[in-house]
Each structure stands twice: as C-alpha cells, then as structure tokens.
Amino acid sequence: MIRGWGKKSSLVMEINSKAPVRNKKDLAKSLGISRQSLYYHPKMAIKDLELKTKIEGVMTLHQSYEHKRIAKEMEPIRKGS
C-alpha cells in the first residue's frame, strides 16, 4: 500500500494498478467508496512523500516541536542570519 495518503485512496490506487478491468460502478460498490474516488490521481505524489519523510525525521528527533518549529527546522540555513 502507498504510504502517505488516506486508506481508501491508497487502496483504490493499488487496485487500479493491479486489478483486471471491471465495471467501475461494481468495483466502487464492493469497496464501499464513491465511483469518483476510483479516478483519483495525486498531482505531486513524489514531492508530497519526500516532504512527509522530512517532517517525520524532524518529529523523531524533536517530538515536542509544533508546526512552526518544524518548519523552521526544515528551512535551509541562510547566509548572513
């Protein structure tokens, strides 16, 4: 399963890539999701997963950091500051 997306969208993307061609209506009904979810394709999948990995890395080192400190930790060090 692809890590980083919701459970249903990951399941749908995995099924779409491996399953034989079926009627989309029946497939959506058997999965318990809307038919529209079968057509979901993330636009920036690789970039999102890279960002999530960086955030998780900061979180493992500094578990008490909030979102502002995580963002500051992730930004590159600027010259002159």
The model's pLDDT over 22-45, given as tens digits with 9 standing for 90+, comes to: 688 888 888 888 888 888 777 888
pTM (2 decimals)?
0.47
pLDDT at residue number 21: 60
The pLDDT confidence band at residue 60, using thresholds 50, 70 and 90, is very high
The pLDDT confidence band at residue 1, using thresholds 50, 70 and 90, is very low
pLDDT beyond 60 at 15 = yes
**Concatenated DSSP letters for the chain?**
--TTS-HHHHHHHHHHHHSPP--HHHHHHHHTS-GGGGG---SSHHHHHHHHHHHHHHHHH-TT--HHHHHHHHSPPPTT-
- Indicate the domain borders of the chain: 7-39, 45-74
Looking at every residue in the chain, the average pLDDT score rounds to 77
